Amino acid sequence: MSIRLSSLAAVASLIAAALTPASAQTLRYANQGDLKSLDPYTLRESTTIAHHGQVYEGLVARDKNLQTVPGLAESWETPEPTRWRFHLRKNVKFQNGDPFTADDVVFSADRVRAKGSDFATMVANDTKVIKIDDYTVDFVLTAPNPILISQWDVWYIMDKKWAEENNAVAPTPAAATTPSFASLHANGTGAFSIESHQPGVKTVFKVNPNWWRKPEHNLKEIIFTPIASDATRVAALLSGEIDIMEPVPIQDISRVNSSPNATVMSGPELRTIFLGMDQTRDELLNSNIKGKNPFKDIRVREAFYKAIDIELIKTRVMRGLSTPSALMIAPQLFKLSGDFTRPKYDPDGAKKLLTEAGYPDGFELSMDCPNDRYVNDAAICQAVVGMLARIGVKVNLIAQPKALYFAKIFKSGGYNTPFYLLGWTPSTADSHNVLYDIMGCRDNPNSSRGLTNIGGYCNKEFDALADKVLQETDNTKRDLLIKAAFEISNKDFAYIPLHQQALAWGVSKKLKVAQRADNQVLPYWFVKQD
């Protein structure tokens, strides 16, 4: 099994010694959250993608330096600025024995853009995908896109024949209440196959003996068990019941490090944790304000921002293991991020803004928050509830497991929350992903722009800049365009960025850790020692 610390520095610093021979073993892994669906297009969430990445693969992969390298496509070129041609790897088979061909790529491009997919922005709606022959596929764009493949290591290719035979042509929506065949079964080309999957109980991965790559591990199987309780998860690691756990609760890091059986692998992550507000509905859901949506008033959004004491969250909730952010992207991914500063914590100013907006006594609303997805996510939300109470806003917190949380906020293709906490790691390691997916207008039903823009923020000037960012190849000009876009969204108080969190994995000392050559979603292989 491999793990992801989404930081180039962390990747570099946590490479362990070279592999040593050992007999094949079972790796026992626990996470605070569940793996609800095996359908690789259901939920664009890093931990879920990481599990899928053991079974499925993309046309491209990432090397040890997180650079894009060949995956299921052995090479590619751009015969013209709007045409990308991919030459597919031959003699690759899916885990059921079906051959991998161009038909699977064309099918996957259609499926990933279909209704219910949470990955629709991977392939633009207006892109034509053309089979040239069994091992050549062209992607024809309407405009040049120099970063087209930068996120395709997590766009996984599915078996057309298998999907058609099992009534799995349509992607499984995150809000689905009845599991589909693809949500309970998997058939990829990757290093492991799924032997069994019991959502909420256990998932067993078996090594794929016919994988086209050479394995860099000695594992025979991986057993994943969701363990929601922090105390139970830590106890299982320290007792040797499991080999890896994620995350290690901040308060238990020193305890794990001082134990004879385990250690903590930690490092900064590129995910930005933020708060979002519904700016679309004419009447706010779950609020005592009728016939109006307070968040449509910029003064209310600014008041909420200024009511958040980010330093208190850093010191009390995160215990120093977070980096407060002024932007919706980590500073490692945008070199001009230092030009931005967060508005100062100002509860008195926040109260004044609410009064000016017509809410001198504040108002009441609900807040949705996962309680098993991010580091101390529920505690962060509880802190936010308390801070907003100081300016007269009563927040009724709805904290629940991520499976229920994501199903609710994406219910039936809608966006069903007035106020929420979410995290986002740009899969391209580039600002455009954030500008387009999270912050772009979602008012065009024929566009994938804003697919994960749950609050519905929309500024056409911002979108125009995002479009220019996508096509600009001069890095200096591109950075200035990105800066201008973030200046607009910050002035609009479109979101409330909180911080980039630190990650902490508990790892048994019986494991050797080595960086994967193919990297995929996660950059590490584990080798179990006898």
pLDDT in tens, 186-228: 999 999 999 999 999 999 999 999 999 988 888 899 999 999 9
Sign of the dihedral defined by the CA atoms of residues 235, 20, 51, 65, in that order: positive
Q: Mean pLDDT throughout 95-114? A: 98
**Residues of the chain above pLDDT 70, percent:** 92
Q: What is the average per-residue pLDDT within 305-323?
A: 95
- Of 18-32, 105-119, 447-461, least confident by mean pLDDT is 18-32
251 vs 491: CA distance, rounded Å: 37
Tell me what pLDDT residue 515 has: 53
pTM of the model: 0.75
Residues 6+ apart with CB under 8 A from 221: 26, 27, 195, 204, 205, 206, 207
Q: How far apart are the first and last CA of the chain?
A: 17
Distance CA 47, CA 31 (A): 9
Of the two residues 526 and 160, the one the predictor is more confident about is 160
Whether a cis peptide bond, with omega within 30° of 0, leads into 426 is no
Q: 87 - beta bridge partners?
A: 75, 136
CA atoms within 13 A on the CB side of 244: 25
| Residue 61 confidence (pLDDT) above 70 | yes
Percent of the chain with pLDDT over 90: 73
Instruction: Give the span between the Cα atoms of 413 and 451, in whole angstroms.
Output: 10
Among 22-26, 332-336, 339-343, 520-524, whose mean pLDDT is lowest? Answer: 520-524
- CB-side neighbour CA atoms (13 Å) of 492: 21
Q: What is the pLDDT of residues 364-416, one digit of tens each?
A: 999 999 998 888 999 999 999 999 999 999 999 999 998 899 889 887 667 89
Concatenated DSSP letters of 175-202? T-SS--HHHH----SSSEEEEEEETTTE
The pLDDT of 100-119, averaged and rounded, is: 96
pLDDT of 110 over the 60 cut: yes
Under the banding of pLDDT at 50, 70 and 90, the label for residue 462 is very high
The predicted pLDDT at position 268 comes to 76
How many Cβ atoms sit within 10 Å of the Cβ of residue 338?
Answer: 9
For residue 85, what pLDDT band results from cuts at 50, 70 and 90?
Answer: very high
pLDDT digits over 240-264, tens only? 999 999 989 888 999 999 999 999 9
Q: In this predicted model, which residue has the larger pLDDT, 70 or 447?
A: 70
Q: For residues 266-287, give the mean pLDDT.
A: 92
Give the pairing of strands 136-140 and 60-62: unpaired
CA count, 13 A, side-chain hemisphere, 97: 0
- Output the pLDDT for position 20: 33
What pLDDT, in 10s, does the model give residues 472-530?
Answer: 989 899 999 999 999 999 999 999 999 998 888 999 998 877 655 544 444 444 455 54
Residue 411 confidence (pLDDT): 73
CA dist 99 and 93 (Å) reads 4
Indicate if the pLDDT at residue 45 is higher than 80: yes
The residue type found at 230 is: D
The DSSP secondary structure of 203-237, one letter per residue, reads: EEEEE-TT-SSPP-S-EEEEEEEE---HHHHHHHH
Averaged pLDDT for residues 279-305: 97
